[in-house]
Amino acid sequence: METTHVAIIGMGTVGTGVAHLLLDQSDRLAQHAGRRVNLKKVVARDLKKPRDVQLPAALLTDDIAQVTDDPEITAVIQLVGGLEPARTIMIQLLESGKDVITANKALLAEHGPELFDRARQLGRSIAFDAAVGGGIPMVTNISQCLSANQILSLHGILNGTCNFVISQMDTAGASYADALQEAQRRGYAEADPTMDVDGSDAAQKLAILVHLAFGARVPWQEIPRQGIDTLQPADLQFARELGYRIKLLAVAQLVEEGLELHVAPQLVRHDSPLAEVRDAYNAIRVVGDAVGRVWFHGLGAGQMPTASAVVADLIDTVVGRAAITFRTLELWSQRPARVMPRDYERVSSRYYLRFDVEDHPGVLAEITGILGRQQISIASVIQHEASESGDEIVSLVVMTHTTTEGGLRKAVSEINVLPAVQAPTMVLRVLD
Ligand SMILES: NC(=O)c1ccc[n+]([C@@H]2O[C@H](COP(=O)([O-])OP(=O)(O)OC[C@H]3O[C@@H](n4cnc5c(N)ncnc54)[C@H](OP(=O)(O)O)[C@@H]3O)[C@@H](O)[C@H]2O)c1
């Protein structure tokens, strides 16, 4: 049997998991690859740091040149996080003739076009299934298995931290702050969770998926996004009462005017598979014109789920499948779907609105009057009686029929300045 020599750069959580699979499951991997896959070098920053994997001493180095200068090593797994030195390392690897496998979503979302172009100029490939959805083979499925389809839409729960926080608020009635603290305690959330909770992480993943599914290269910063940090347990309770759950969704859908993209917490019907996605799990619903709806569900992060995707990418690379997928992605990118200009008059949906208002007569009429003037028709209203403790602020919840976001924004900005309204209105889209 022939042998392919490979290396890992970055021996953190995922790198350790990948090393375990390569060292402990070499026979299984050889069967899948039709050749031996030999881990020849591991590059770490600190050689003295204790690792959860027994590495033969000759493998470990802190000198990347031992990989780039070794012509026997043809594929490299790059697991250094962040933007730099990860970007420079990727370029060094490509320029020294290596095919690269990475799980670094932030790097691809920021520098993907540059890195992909460079790889193509050099005749190399980049495989990145682990960068979106961790262990769920989303990238491979969208780019290979669904290639007979025009993808019509993607609806993804792509951030496990947010899904965990929302699940805690929903099932345990936890406040947003307590749920986030619990996510940090369990290691789901970073010490600084800003990129997760403000929707940036999901937008980065959506930008990668949109490139695969629609050929469009969209800077992730241009994707409109709303985070979960303003959600209150009351929103989860009201959603339940209305027969829905709330999920942070990353959405791409083809509409008449082009591709509509956004990341936002949304109401999803309680009996839909998206509503069933709990804790730190991820899921994505893809609609293709031939296949109809397909679902993918699983762990979107974690050492071994992510290592599973990285090693599958490695096998695809050594057998040559990754190069084919990478080339097709280029062809696909030459006819990208047009991204819809951000025009709120053209975006329409049903909406959930929560107003925190003073509990006195006439407030409901004032609010519904403003909605009516913007042609926003009301599907249902919930107002619970004020508590006996004499709360003077009550939540008023309105579900609208389908309306344009432009009209809704105008109405909400008028409502927010009414004297009886005590806090900015919570506005959430509804996915029926
Ligand atoms: N963890 C997950 O569940 C998960 C899921 C999907 C995607 N990812 C992505 O996978 C990548 C790796 O994640 P991770 O969780 O394994 O991160 P991590 O635990 O922080 O590991 C990163 C490793 O890279 C090493 N490193 C940094 N600079 C280096 C350099 N110049 N040369 C060699 N090594 C260097 C670090 O060394 P030190 O140990 O010396 O600091 C660290 O061990 C990230 O891009 C992440 O976003 C992770």
**127: part of which helix (H) or strand (E)?**
strand 126-127
Residues above pLDDT 90, as percent of the chain: 85
Mean pLDDT, rounded, of the chain: 94
Of 232-236, 338-342, 404-408, minimum mean pLDDT range: 338-342
Q: What is the mean pLDDT of residues 220-241?
A: 95
Closest by alpha carbon to 152, among 296, 337, 349, 297?
A: 337
Closest by alpha carbon to 355, among 232, 173, 264?
A: 232
Report how far ligand 1's centroid is from the alpha carbon of 13 (Å): 7
Report how far ligand 1's centroid is from the alpha carbon of 82 (Å): 8
pLDDT of residue 384: 85
Q: What is the mean pLDDT of residues 25-46?
A: 97
Strand ranges for 307-414 from DSSP E: 348-358, 378-383, 393-400, 403-404
Q: Could you write out the three-class secondary structure of 305-333?
A: HHHHHHHHHHHHHHHCHHHHHHHHHHHHH
Encode pLDDT of 239-285 as tens digits. 999 999 999 999 999 988 889 999 999 999 999 999 999 999 999 99
Q: Is 205 a catalytic residue?
A: yes
Q: What angle do CA 59, 17, 155 make, to 5 degrees?
A: 140
pLDDT of residue 389: 61
Cα 315 from Cα 179, distance rounded (Å):
38
Q: Is 188 helix (H, G, I), strand (E, B) or coil?
A: coil
Query: Beta partners for 151?
Result: 288
pLDDT of residue 374: 95
Encode pLDDT of 160-184 as tens digits. 999 999 999 999 999 999 999 999 9
Cα 371 from Cα 412, distance rounded (Å):
8
- pLDDT tier at 390 (50, 70, 90 boundaries)? low
**Alpha carbon nearest to ligand 1 atom 19, residue:** 12
- pLDDT tier at 17 (50, 70, 90 boundaries)? very high
Q: What is the mean pLDDT of residues 193-215?
A: 95
Report how far ligand 1's centroid is from the alpha carbon of 408 (Å): 43
Omega before residue 305 within 30° of 0, cis: no
Supply 219's token pair: 């800077």
Q: How far apart are the first and last CA of the chain?
A: 54
- pLDDT tier at 388 (50, 70, 90 boundaries)? low
Q: Does residue 391 have a pLDDT over 70?
A: no
pLDDT of residue 242: 97
Encode pLDDT of 178-198 as tens digits. 999 999 999 888 889 999 999
Do β-strands 378-383 and 393-400 pair in parallel, antiparallel, or remain unpaired? antiparallel
Query: Beta partners for 358?
Result: 393
Q: What is the mean pLDDT of residues 332-357?
A: 84
Cα 290 from Cα 122, distance rounded (Å):
35
Is residue 288 a contact partner of residue 294, using CB atoms and an 8 Å limit?
A: yes
Among 20, 49, 77, 80, the mutation site with the greatest number of ligand 1 atoms within 8 A of its Cβ is 80
Q: Quick one: DSSP state of residue 144? A: I
Of 105-119, 197-211, 387-401, minimum mean pLDDT range: 387-401
**Residue 14 CA: which ligand 1 atom is closest?**
16
Query: The sheet that has 60-61: what strands, in order across it?
Result: 60-61, 36-43, 3-9, 73-78, 99-102, 126-127
Q: Does residue 300 have a pLDDT over 80?
A: yes
Q: Quick one: DSSP state of residue 132? A: T
Report how far ligand 1's centroid is from the alpha carbon of 38 (Å): 21
Among 8, 9, 13, the mutation site with the greatest number of ligand 1 atoms within 8 A of its Cβ is 13
Supply 431's token pair: 């996915």
Q: Does residue 309 have a pLDDT over 90?
A: yes
Report how far ligand 1's centroid is from the alpha carbon of 152 (Å): 34
pLDDT of residue 187: 86
**Residue 11 CA: which ligand 1 atom is closest?**
43
Q: Does residue 33 have a pLDDT over 90?
A: yes
Q: What residue type is 269 in one-letter code? A: R
What's the gap between Cα 52 and its chain centre? 28
Closest by alpha carbon to 210, among 333, 61, 342, 33?
A: 333
Q: Does residue 341 have a pLDDT over 80?
A: no
Encode pLDDT of 356-383 as tens digits. 999 888 999 999 999 999 999 999 999 9
One of 40, 41, 105, 205 is an active-site residue; which one? 205
Q: Is 219 helix (H, G, I), strand (E, B) or coil?
A: coil
Closest by alpha carbon to 380, among 272, 241, 247, 268?
A: 241
Please list every protein residue whose CB sits less than 6 Å from any atom of ligand 1.
9-15, 43-46, 49, 79-81, 85, 103-105, 130, 134, 301-302, 306
